[in-house]
Amino acid sequence: MKYIGLVAVFAATCVAQYGQSLDDLPKIVDNSTSSLPGVEKYVLPPLPYPYNALEPHISEQIMKLHHSAHHQAYVDNLNNALSELRGLEEQGMIEKEKKEGLEETVKFNRGGHINHSLFWKGLVPTGTPDSSLQGDLDKAIKAKWGSEKKFSEAFTKTILQKVKGSGWGWVVCNVGTRDLSFETTRDQDPISLPQLVIFGIDMWEHAYYLQYYNNKKSYLKAIWNVINWKEANERYSACLKHVDT
Ligand SMILES: [Fe+2]
């Protein structure tokens, strides 16, 4: 079927990565609302902690809106665009301009779904064992930047310099060189191979404005308290063990 081919193409562009592919994200078979029964739809992954768990650093209000409204919208828009593409292709009546528009919608919302799914798992309540820099990642960061403080300062500086509008700041590991570095992406563009995400920080205003207004620096200082270093270290381990297939 053309639709299956379409999904495969978009999945292939994400390639098999550590949590960076649509293939890693949950789907359900939705027979109730789908125009074609049996078609799978992406679903909003539950937060691995309550909405108020990251307070006082990230407010409950922000987390609730960000997850249940913004992320949900990326999921809904992705499903709707894929469904419309499928329907038009099966009818054999899709025009080039229409197709390109829907593919752009899929690309944007696919990125939003992937990026936010990585983001939630990359955070954890402060004061828990997972909220301390640890393992091989601890050693690698201190070897390259000297200390966690210098690393966080350098990352903050990169984000403030390079993310001018809506976008993301990332700590990534190159699977070829195993080297750690900083990346930024615009809008909802995701990170792709040869880079793996260690953790990312959402720099869209919806991630901080209700609590920090236009003070991006305060937001970046606060979110440092709720980075899930256990998850980040596991992603780094996956990068060190990555073998091209
Ligand atoms: Fe966001």
Query: How confident is the model over 168-188, as pLDDT tens digits?
Result: 999 999 999 999 999 999 999
Span 19-24, average pLDDT: 78
- What is the reported pLDDT for 32? 64
Pairing of strands 180-186, 167-174: antiparallel
Would you place residue 240 in the very low, low, confident or very high pLDDT band (cuts 50, 70, 90)? very high
Residue 99 scores a pLDDT above 80: yes
Going from the Cα of 120 to the center of ligand 1, the distance in angstroms, rounded, reads: 10
Question: Under a CB-based contact definition with an 8 Å cutoff, are residues 123 and 232 in contact?
Answer: no
Residue 189 marked ligand-binding: no
- What is the reported pLDDT for 11? 36
Residue 66 marked ligand-binding: yes
Rounded to a whole number of angstroms, the distance between the first and last alpha carbons of the chain is: 26
Catalogue all structural domains in the chain, each as residue range(s) with its CATH number: 2-121 (1.10.287.990), 129-241 (3.55.40.20)
Query: How confident is the model over 39-83, as pLDDT tens digits?
Result: 789 999 999 999 999 999 999 999 999 999 999 999 999 999 999
Q: Shortest CA distance to 63 belongs to which of 52, 74, 77?
A: 52
Query: How confident is the model over 135-157, as pLDDT tens digits?
Result: 999 999 999 999 999 999 999 99
Question: Under a CB-based contact definition with an 8 Å cutoff, are residues 57 and 226 in contact?
Answer: yes
**Rounded-to-integer distance, Cα 87 and Cα 43, Å:** 20
**Rounded-to-integer distance, Cα 48 and Cα 120, Å:** 7
Q: Shortest CA distance to 128 belongs to which of 70, 37, 57?
A: 57
Q: Shortest CA distance to 179 belongs to which of 228, 132, 239?
A: 239
Residue 162 scores a pLDDT above 90: yes
Going from the Cα of 117 to the center of ligand 1, the distance in angstroms, rounded, reads: 10
Q: What is the chain's mean pLDDT, rounded?
A: 89
Residue 71 marked ligand-binding: no
Tokens encoding 207: 């991630």
Residues 6+ apart with CB under 8 A from 44: 67, 68, 71, 72, 75
C-alpha R_g of the chain: 19
- What is the reported pLDDT for 245? 66
Going from the Cα of 42 to the center of ligand 1, the distance in angstroms, rounded, reads: 17
- What is the reported pLDDT for 125? 98
